[in-house]
Structure 1
Amino acid sequence: MQTEKITQHIVNWLATYAKNARVNGFVIGISGGIDSAVTSILCAKTGLKVLCVEMPIHQSESHVSRAKEHIAFLKEHYSNVHDIETNLTPVFEAFKTKVPLNGKTDTVNMALANTRARLRMTTLYYFAGLQGLLVAGTGNKIEDFGIGFYTKYGDGGVDLSPIADLMKTEVYTLGAFLNVPKSIMTAAPSDGLFGDARSDEDQIGASYPELEWAMRMTHLGKETSEFSGREKVVFDIYTRLNKMNQHKMTAIPVCEIPNKLR
């Protein structure tokens, strides 16, 4: 992996896209995770305005502290970086008073978790509209195009995706090159949508290196019958999530009207 050249390629792509779109720069939600850390540095390297937004909703203290550490790192090294904190906890709690919360606990909790992501998306687009910025996505390849591990119209609602052609392990490689704070580099990946310590691996049942292996096997045309033991478990997890989340990864279905009915 030609890390330095890939870094410069993404920075140039971001700068060119922003120039052609005639915007002032980028807005990005900072979560305290590796993806938003790498993406925000790449955006900052363009020299254009970068607004980093913290949007806690009953957030784990470890996530909050890592986010603040990273923003401090950015502002120390890049004069074009600005930040703002928008505490969405009261908004989230107000929303809960206006919708029914009856139903299966797991189903309600998942719906509320996705609501958190959608409130954050709305907030980012608010600031984007105010300041003439593009919302920079933080999804990587395995999440965006492998297992669909993101919220539709939440963290999946963005203007452009700088790292979506990089595997999670490659994002970590860029993170090391870009001197992302150690606390972020060593933290277990987590979407932070439940306000507790659960990691992505806890939710998915497989690690990112395992999922990347399964994605490669799928592209090679392998089938579940060709594997056994842990490999079969991981391959089945990947296949199930990939199939289940196709609605996120393909274009919205359009009911086309036949010409004879026009």
Structure 2
Amino acid sequence: MQKEKVTQYIIDWLKSYAINAKMDGFVVGVSGGVDSAVTSSLCASTGLRTLCVEMPIHQGPNQVARGKEHIDQLKKRFAHVTSCSVDLTPVFETFKEQAPLTIDNQFLDLSLANTRARLRMTTLYYFAGLHRYLVAGTGNKVEDFGVGFYTKYGDGGVDISPIADLMKSEVYKIAEVLKVPDSIMKAEPTDGLFGDSRTDEDQIGASYDELEWAMEMQHVGKNGQDFNGREKTVFELYSRLNRVNQHKMNPIPVCEIPPHMKNSL
């Protein structure tokens, strides 16, 4: 990949889109991970106003520190970058107090994790509305179109997706061009939605390198019978996640009424 050319292409694309949409800039949720660091750096590089928003909810100190380091670096490099922090922990806790929680429900932890993501989406759109900004998504290709590793109407609720055609490995190459801090480059990827130390690999069951391989194998028409051992396990894992998460990747189903039922008699 020609990483310098790809980086500039995305920057130009972002700027053109915002100008044509008659919007004044971008808002990005910064988590301390490489995807949000790259996205916010790309937005800042357009020369348009860019707001970086920290939205901790029982966040690990290391994640918070990495996010702050990145934002401080961006603000030193770009005068048009601003930031704010919105502690959503009290909002999340109030929601839990008001919502009927069934403690023994096997889906409780996942549902609450998705709730965190949706609270953050709401916050980003609040600021987008105040400033006429576009909400820039931080999902990469493997997450958005491979295994569906994101929350519908959470981190999947965005206006524009600048890195969604980049594999995770390609995101790291773009990060090098954009001078993303080493602390972020070396950190294990995590969505931070469960309030513990679990990584993306812990949740998914495979590394991003493995998922990229499986995505390519599916693209060229391979199936589970073509592999053995770990490769077979990863390919079948990828295929299952890709299948069950199509509801995230496809347009919302619309019940289309047959014309003859609508016509007046």
Instruction: Give TM-score scaled by structure 2 length.
Output: 0.98
- Kindly report the root-mean-square deviation, in angstroms, between the aligned alpha carbons of the 2 structures: 0.7
Letter paired with 2:96: K
- 1:179 aligns with 179
- Superimposed CA distance per residue, residues 210-231 of structure 1 (whole angstroms, 9 cap, x where no aligned partner): 0000000001110101110000
- 1:88 aligns with 88
- Residue 109 of structure 1 and its aligned partner are, at CA, apart by 0.5
The answer (yes or no) to whether the contact 2:117–2:193 under 8 Å persists in 1 is: yes
- Indicate the SS of the match to 2:165: coil
- 1:108 aligns with 108
Tell me, in whole angstroms, the C-alpha distance in 2 between the residues paired with 1:189 and 1:251: 28
Moved runs in structure 1, 4+ residues, more than 4 A? none
- Superimposed CA distance per residue, residues 120-164 of structure 1 (whole angstroms, 9 cap, x where no aligned partner): 000000000001100000000000000000000000000000000
Greater CA deviation, 173-182 or 140-149?
A: 173-182
- 1:167 aligns with 167
- Residue 196 of structure 1 and its aligned partner are, at CA, apart by 1.0
- 1:202 aligns with 202
- 1:213 aligns with 213
- Residue 55 of structure 1 and its aligned partner are, at CA, apart by 0.3
- Residue 17 of structure 1 and its aligned partner are, at CA, apart by 0.3
Letter paired with 1:204: I
- CA shift in 2, pair 1:105/1:174, >3 Å: same
- 2:64 aligns with 64
- Indicate the SS of the match to 1:97: helix
The answer (yes or no) to whether the contact 2:7–2:177 under 8 Å persists in 1 is: no
Letter paired with 2:108: V
- 2:249 aligns with 249
Tell me, in whole angstroms, the C-alpha distance in 1 between the residues paired with 2:198 and 2:191: 9
The answer (yes or no) to whether the contact 2:138–2:161 under 8 Å persists in 1 is: yes
- 1:39 aligns with 39
Q: How many residues align?
A: 262
The answer (yes or no) to whether the contact 2:147–2:241 under 8 Å persists in 1 is: yes
- Indicate the SS of the match to 2:98: coil
The answer (yes or no) to whether the contact 2:138–2:163 under 8 Å persists in 1 is: yes
- Residue 176 of structure 1 and its aligned partner are, at CA, apart by 1.4
Letter paired with 2:125: Y
Tell me, in whole angstroms, the C-alpha distance in 2 between the residues paired with 1:27 and 1:106: 35
Tell me, in whole angstroms, the C-alpha distance in 2 between the residues paired with 1:236 and 1:19: 43
Letter paired with 2:219: H
Give the gaps of 5 or more residues in structure 2.
none
Letter paired with 1:135: V
Tell me, in whole angstroms, the C-alpha distance in 1 between the residues paired with 2:4 and 2:35: 17
Give the gaps of 5 or more residues in structure 1.
none
Greater CA deviation, 168-177 or 147-156?
A: 168-177
Tell me, in whole angstroms, the C-alpha distance in 2 between the residues paired with 1:118 and 1:109: 14
- 1:123 aligns with 123
- Superimposed CA distance per residue, residues 38-65 of structure 1 (whole angstroms, 9 cap, x where no aligned partner): 0000000000000000000000111000
Tell me, in whole angstroms, the C-alpha distance in 2 between the residues paired with 1:104 and 1:155: 27
Instruction: Give TM-score scaled by structure 1 length.
Output: 0.99
- 1:156 aligns with 156
